[in-house]
Each structure stands twice: as structure tokens, then as C-alpha cells.
Amino acid sequence: MGNIREFVTSLPGETRWHGNHKESGNRMVLNAGNISLLYENGNLRYISVNKLEILRMIYSAVRGREWLTIKPVISGEEFDIQKDSFRIKFEAHYLMGEINFQAHYSIIGNSDNSLIFKFEGEALNSFEKNRIGLCVLHPVESVKGEKCVVVHTDNKPEELVFPYYISQHQPFKDIKSMIWNRSGFKCSIDFSGDVFESEDQRNWTDASYKTYCTPLEHPFPVRVGKGERISQKIELKVLAADFSDGNVSDEISMSINREPILPVPRIGIGRSSRPQPLEDEEVSLLRQIKFSHYRIDVYLFKSDWESELENGLREAALLGYKTELALFLDDNFSVHIQEFLKAIRRLKYDIDIVLLYHKTSLSSPDSITDIVVPLLKTALPGVIICCGTNANFAQLNRCRPESAFFDNLCYSIHPQEHASDNLTLIENLQSMRDTVESAGSFSPDKGIWVSPVNIQRRFNANVTAYEQPDKGMKFPLQADSRLMSLFGGCWAAISLKYLIHEVVNGITYFETVGERGIIQGDNDSQWPGEFQTCKGMIFPVYHVFKFILGNENYGLVWSASSHPLQVDSLVMSDNDRLKMILVNFSTVAEIISIKGWQGELNVKTLNELSYIEAVCDADWLANVESIIVNSGKPLFLEPCSINFIEG
């Protein structure tokens, strides 16, 4: 372990916090009258009045023909900042493949509680685009189920509602203006330069409703000619009879509701996508975590599927995990399923869960399910059959299976469909619960199976229905160095909090080993520049799952953070004892109070310093000393820390 310790000690603190993910650029808190907001890299975030969030974000996006978002290079920023107003100007250059677009932005915050965000851009060569324009995000928790008056382009108003359950399609169309109320504040946005509409971004696990242009009913992609100019403007106004401060406090508190207790569903892990099989030491480390099942992807339309299946089943047996098979069929499914059942009889392995997918359909076709599922149920008594999508909740929501034969709806989750910064990943955690509740609303007689949960997107569902092998030498798009960091451990713990629900029967996370795993394993990083690890490293997320799954008698009790984008928790209990993972997402220390639980708490903290020991020792939780604090007193949290608490 000396080599690991020496390697990790050399890593900068930021790498231990966030992996190799870098976020740079100007970042400042600004005011426009009674409006406060965060300016960050050309975007406006957390637009609030009296600490009540009015809008989550105002920004601009350029998206290519495959819906990939081009990250701009920002230059020439100019700032004129006053106490209650500001003016910002900058240039943004969008360059990727054939796309070459230059834009000039102007953002004005006025003392009369208004904002103006506008741009003028020019195509520097011809290219195809799906979208170019301004976007506005409404935070779900602020407006879910609330009324909104939409003024259409013919100047006629219509009273609508922000959807409670996740809307399959655009809830608001043909938008010229939006008017809504937020705790006594009358808010309005005027749009110009294009026709706007809104979508429910929870379909992709984003915690927002997004208003954007151009309407999706228009043909896309669209060819933009060299020299073509695009200009747009939006204006936000906030009116109120009284702008005096409300009662929103800066104090961070965690409230625990000890009842009811929800049972923890089956928690599993995915097979590694690296080509090498698991080594004995890797198996030994993984067996220490009581995962219930092992996801093995089987592409029955490929020639090598049987050997891949056999290797995966052998690893499941070594790990002592039950099997979750993700079966991918094509239109020759009748032949393939018979070949599969023949192989299973020969291999003599028990199969516990089957996820049924089609090669090109983004959700399991009922015509195939109705034929295949009875065959599987007959050949594999007791097997759990899941149908749905290998992609986002959006694909399930828009193409809902209706067959009577399967047991669970299934879909996968990741937080990076639209943006990849740390704040977005934290924001999107809460919307995971919305996906579960919405799935339960349209299929109340089925359970929910979420598989897999990843911190990064595995494939572009706008192009394909399954993950293609990565053949390049570059760092793969499916990997994210934050998984090996403290941030990755924080994110995993809180994602589980928002996914545990009475209708959820199973959740599958990440992979076993490698750059997409919970440990590095017996091989050094294939991309040491982008994923700074060495062989043998134990990632913080390993300790998170070991702590959570260490006692089957504990169930989830609900906890609510007053500031969940800074501090959040996963709390479990057996009606007598408490187990909590309390995370600090921020890069500064925080002081919190815990409400709803009395007594002494034993706290073990995984932070920048203890990271060095934790990545060397799979038994770190058992070996590290704890400190004892009283739950009635404020608790000090180290920056970007994972706090394991028992009481």
C-alpha cells in the first residue's frame, strides 16, 4: 500500500475533491435591485429575491445535429458592477466539428428588479444545428403544480400549470411571455427573436423546466449558412408590493423524520466494461460489500454473446451475487431467445433478474414482450422480468410499455444529459425522486427497477439504443474522474436517498472495477492524465456502499436539508439505532444543526486528508477513529466531505 499512499499524497487537493474535472472562469454574486444571482462563465444562476429562488438559470446553448452541446470559449469579458445593478459584456466562440459560431452577449441587471439577457451571433461557416438560442430554467421545487400564464405569439393569454408528474411532451408552447407568482412576487419573462416553448427536463433527470427555442415541431437539423446572423433577447421583471426580507435563514439544518421507515431495495452493481476478467484480489474486495446482484449486458445479436454471458456468470458466482441479465434482442428475437435458453440450461446458472431491451427500440416493444416473457417465465421459474428502456426516463415516459406479462418498469439514470458542471450534478439529484413517482403514477401495478445509475452518460440516446464499444485511444465519454473523488462518493450516497421509494424494487450502480468502477482494481489507469489513479486504489464510493449495505435491518428514514445544494444526507434506522451519511458538497466548511434525533453520535469523516488513508484501506471505516458529538449541538463539516455517522 506504500505505493498507493505515495501516489495519492502527490495528488492536489482539488483532484481528491473533484477528480480531474476543472471548472474555471469568472464567478460572482450580483444584484439587480432586490434580485440577487450568481454570474458564472456567461450564465446567470440562482436568480432569487429574498433568498427565494425565482429562476434556476438563464443561459445560451448551441447544439449540433446529434444534440451535443458545444461548450463555448468565453473572451473579452467586461464588467460594470454597482451595488444594485450591473452590466456585463463578453464574446463566446462555439467550435466543434463543422460548427463555427461567434456571438456577442450583453447582460444587464437594473435597479428596478429587472434583467435583460441578449446576444447577437454570426455563423462563421455553414453547419447543421438543432438549436441555437437562449434558455431559461425554472426550478422544479419552486413551481411544481403552480399556475403560469403563457402569452402566445398572437398576444392571447392562457392559464396553464407547471406539471406535477413528469410531462411526456412540451407543457407550454408558442411562448411570447410567461407570468407566474413566487411567494408574493409577480414574475414575468418576455422573449423575442424566435418562438419559444417549454419542456420538462426531469425526463433527463434535470431538476428544472426548460424554456427554449426553436419549437421541436419544426424540422431539424437545420442548415445555417455562412454569414447568417441570429439575435435574441429575454427580459425578466419581478414586481411586489413589499420587498422586505422574509424568513429564509442562512442557517443549515438537517431535519430527520423517524417514521415511516422504507425498506432498502435490492442494490446491485454492474460488470466492468474493461476487457480483463476479475482478479482474485478484486473479487475479495468486492465480496466485502453485500451487493444483491450483478448486471451483465448480453447482446444476443452479436456473435460472441455466449462467451460473454459465460464469463459474466462465472464472475457473479465468484462474487456471490445474484444475476441481473440485460438482454438485447433484435428483430430475430424468436431465434435468439431459444438460443439463450439453451445456453442457460447448459451453463446451469440461476438467473434472477432479466431486463428486456431491443437493439433499435428505445423502449421494450410490447409485441416482443408478449412473446418472450412467457418463454422466460416458463424456463426460469421465479425470474423477475423488467421492461422499459436502457436509456433515460424520457424514453420510458414517451413510449410506455403496456404488456401485462412483465414485473417491473426499468430505466437508467445519469445527471449529465445537458450540462456537466458540479452544481448541475448536485441540482439533478432531487429530480431522481420525481422519475420514480412519475413512473409509479402511470403504471401503478408495476414495480420500478433503476439500472444502471451512472455519474456519466453511457451513450447518446438520440443516436443509438445501447452502448457501443469504445475503440478510440482517447479518454472515453462514458467515464468521469469525479467517480474516484470525494465528490463521487457524496453524489452516490445522495442519489440513493432520492431513489429509495416504496415502489422501487431494485437499483444497479456503476461498475465493479476500473475507470467506471468503485475500485481501480489490479490495473493502473489507462488514462493517467484524465483519471489520476493507480492500481489498488479504493474509491470513496466503495466505503459509501459498504457502510449502507452493512446491515440488512436498517431502512430509510426521510431527512430534509434546508440547503440541499450545499449539504444533504442519507439517513437509515432500525427503529432504535441511526446510520447517516452526511455530505458537504461545497468547497468551504459548513456548520449544521440536526433536528429530530437526540443523543450522542459517532462521526467518521472522509475528507481531503483522510482520503489518503481511505483509498489504501478497504477496511478504513472499521479502522479509523471516530469523534463523539451530541446531536443537539452544531456539527462542523469539513469541505467536500463524507461523514459516516452512527448513533
Would 202 be classed as within a structural domain?
yes
Is 90 exceeded by the pLDDT of residue 268? yes
Q: For CA atoms 500, 505, 509, 513, give the dihedral sign.
A: positive
Q: Quickly state the pLDDT bin for 179 (edges 50, 70, 90).
A: very high
| Residue-level pLDDT at 601 | 93
The alpha-carbon radius of gyration of the chain (Å, integer) is: 25
Is 90 exceeded by the pLDDT of residue 26? no
Q: Quickly state the pLDDT bin for 24 (edges 50, 70, 90).
A: confident
- Which of 158, 198, 163, 200 is CA-nearest to residue 179? 158
Task: Give yes or no: residues 316 and 457 share one domain.
Answer: yes
The amino acid present at 490, given as its one-letter code, is C
| Residue-level pLDDT at 593 | 94
Q: For CA atoms 391, 393, 398, 402, give the dihedral sign.
A: positive
| Residue-level pLDDT at 1 | 61
| Residue-level pLDDT at 242 | 84
Give phi and psi for 432, each to the nearest 5.
-60, -40
Task: Give yes or no: residues 513 and 568 share one domain.
Answer: no
* Separation in Å, CA 496 to CA 87, 432, 451, 639: 42, 9, 12, 21
Would 1 be classed as within a structural domain?
no
The 10s digit of each residue's pLDDT in 474-526 is 899 999 999 999 999 999 999 999 999 999 999 999 999 999 999 999 999 99
Task: Give yes or no: residues 307 and 436 share one domain.
Answer: yes
What percent of the chain is predicted at pLDDT more than 70? 99
Q: Choose the weakest-confidence range: 209-213, 413-417, 438-442, 460-464.
A: 460-464
The 10s digit of each residue's pLDDT in 68-102 is 999 999 999 999 999 999 999 999 999 999 999 99
Max CA pair span of the chain: 76
| Residue-level pLDDT at 247 | 61
Q: Quickly state the pLDDT bin for 245 (edges 50, 70, 90).
A: low
Geometric angle at alpha carbon 40, from 222 and 61, rounded to 5°: 5
End position of a domain, from candidates 553, 588, 607? 553
Q: Choose the weakest-confidence range: 375-389, 401-415, 621-635.
A: 621-635
Is 80 exceeded by the pLDDT of residue 66? yes
SS (H, E, C) 340-373: HHHHHHHHCCCCCEEEEEECCCCCCCHHHHHHHH
Task: Give yes or no: residues 586 and 544 share one domain.
Answer: no
Task: Give yes or no: residues 341 and 380 share one domain.
Answer: yes
Q: CA-CA distance, 344 to 381, in Å (whole number)?
A: 13
Asked whether the beta carbons of 5 and 17 are under 8 A apart, the reply is: no
Task: Give yes or no: residues 212 and 307 share one domain.
Answer: no
| Residue-level pLDDT at 635 | 94
Q: CA-CA distance, 268 to 292, in Å (whole number)?
A: 5
Task: Give yes or no: residues 220 and 199 share one domain.
Answer: yes
Task: Give yes or no: residues 314 and 412 share one domain.
Answer: yes
Task: Give yes or no: residues 161 and 130 share one domain.
Answer: yes
Task: Give yes or no: residues 523 and 564 share one domain.
Answer: no
Cis status of the peptide bond prior to 260, with omega within 30 of 0: yes
Q: What is the CATH number of the domain that holds 321?
A: 3.20.20.80
Average pLDDT over residues 613-642: 94
Would 406 be classed as within a structural domain?
yes
End position of a domain, from candidates 553, 577, 610? 553
Q: Cell for 438?
A: 412519475
Would 14 be classed as within a structural domain?
no
* Separation in Å, CA 358 to CA 240, 298, 307, 332, 380: 53, 11, 20, 10, 20
pTM of this structure = 0.96
Pairing of strands 208-212, 196-200: antiparallel
Pairing of strands 293-299, 266-270: parallel
Asked whether the beta carbons of 494 and 521 are under 8 A apart, the reply is: no
| Residue-level pLDDT at 335 | 96
Sequential DSSP letters for 148-165: EEEEETTS-EEEEE--SS
The 10s digit of each residue's pLDDT in 421-470 is 999 999 999 999 999 999 999 999 999 999 999 999 999 999 999 998 77
Q: CA-CA distance, 408 to 385, in Å (whole number)?
A: 6
Cis status of the peptide bond prior to 508, with omega within 30 of 0: no
How many structural domains is the chain composed of?
A: 3
Q: What is the CATH number of the domain that holds 583?
A: 2.60.40.1180
End position of a domain, from candidates 553, 572, 587? 553
Task: Give yes or no: residues 280 and 425 share one domain.
Answer: yes
| Residue-level pLDDT at 246 | 64
Consecutive H or E run containing 76 = strand 73-81
Is 80 exceeded by the pLDDT of residue 473? no
Q: Choose the weakest-confidence range: 128-142, 308-322, 469-483.
A: 469-483
* Structural domain of 612: 252-256+556-646
Task: Give yes or no: residues 132 and 193 share one domain.
Answer: yes
